[in-house]
């Protein structure tokens, strides 16, 4: 039987956790479409992973509806199908409430939350056709906060809620799940011009019940699980991957 060529769109797939997700799909024989605003990072990652399989970079700002429409059209034109949409693109602007501007608030919500709505809206008919999956990357910030993170926390709380709303609306044809990472060290997964060697202390690691800070691979392995048939009973769920930090009492 001929092997089906499965296609994944990974938003923010040029760097950080998204780059690790891109690599994981390629290693499993999928075709990866990176949708990212950063041309330098997108082209660099496409070149770096070229030998792993078929990979394409389509420069896209997920908060802009016309660009998302173009991303989906171009993916269908190139590959004919979409099997997985990984909504990973995200930004944070952490500032005191009284100095956070409406433009900054809208930029964070536009990328982290509206971007998922737009990508789901324009790809769902294609995903439906092949029984595909949507996976949204939220954050443990959806459930717990540090000061001055209103826009980011609100956007990620929205991602968790949007996940179950989409799961119910899209029904049995498309499974929709969400992963909420905790602290994930991404320094080595940035584009070359921004790459940094992580300088994590023993305390950084040991404050986690799991004994260590997370890695991008901790998240990409969960993404692969969620798109697999082993996860066929999961939809509308949120998997927390934080080394136990949100389960830990913090009294001093």
Q: Is 196 left (phi over 0), alpha (psi -120 to 50) or beta?
A: beta
Q: Where are the alpha helices (DSSP H) in the chain?
A: 16-27, 39-48, 65-79, 102-109, 115-130, 150-170, 202-206, 216-227
Question: Kind and range of the H or E element at 175?
Answer: strand 175-181
Q: Determine which one of 152, 159, 191, 218 is catalytic.
A: 152
Q: Does 108 bind ligand NAD (CB under 6 A)?
A: no
The answer to whether 65 and 44 have CB atoms below 8 angstroms apart is no
Stretch that binds ligand NAD, among 10-18, 21-29, 127-135, 164-172 (CB under 6 A): 10-18
CB of 211 to ligand NAD, least distance (A): 17
Q: For the segment 120-159, give every residue that binds ligand NAD (CB under 6 A).
A: 137, 139
Stretch that binds ligand NAD, among 78-86, 87-95, 97-105, 164-172 (CB under 6 A): 87-95
Q: For the segment 169-198, give every residue that binds ligand NAD (CB under 6 A).
A: 181, 183-184, 186
Rounded Cα–Cα distance for residues 96 and 223 (Å)? 34
Give the one residue of 7, 8, 14, 178 binding ligand NAD; rule: CB under 6 A. Answer: 14
Q: Tell me the two tokens of residue 24.
A: 């994981």
- Catalytic site residue 225? no
Which residues are near ligand NAD by CB under 6 A?
A: 11-12, 14-18, 35-38, 41, 60-63, 88-91, 111, 115, 137, 139, 181, 183-184, 186
């Amino acid at each position: 039987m001929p092997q089906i060529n499965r296609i994944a769109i990974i938003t923010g797939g040029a760097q950080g956790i998204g780059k690790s997700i891109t690599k994981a799909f390629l290693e499993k024989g999928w075709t990866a479409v990176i949708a990212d605003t950063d041309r330098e990072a997108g082209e660099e990652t496409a070149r770096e992973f070229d030998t792993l399989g078929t990979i394409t970079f389509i420069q896209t700002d997920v908060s802009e509806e016309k660009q998302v429409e173009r991303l989906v059209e171009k993916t269908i034109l190139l590959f004919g199908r979409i099997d997985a949409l990984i909504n990973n693109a995200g930004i944070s602007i952490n500032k005191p409430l009284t100095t956070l501007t409406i433009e900054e608030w809208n930029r964070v919500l536009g990328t982290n939350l509206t971007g998922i709505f737009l990508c789901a809206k324009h790809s769902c008919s294609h995903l439906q056709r092949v029984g595909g999956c949507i996976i949204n990357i939220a954050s443990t910030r959806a459930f717990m906060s540090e000061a001055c993170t209103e826009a980011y926390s609100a956007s990620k709380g929205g991602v968790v809620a949007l996940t179950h709303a989409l799961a119910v609306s899209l029904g049995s044809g498309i499974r929709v799940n969400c992963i909420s990472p905790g602290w994930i060290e991404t320094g080595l997964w940035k584009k070359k011009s921004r790459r940094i060697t992580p300088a994590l202390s023993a305390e950084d690691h040991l404050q986690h019940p799991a004994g260590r800070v997370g890695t991008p691979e901790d998240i990409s392995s969960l993404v692969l699980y969620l798109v697999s048939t082993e996860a066929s009973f999961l939809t509308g769920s949120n998997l927390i991957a934080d080394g136990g930090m949100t389960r830990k009492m913090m009294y001093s």
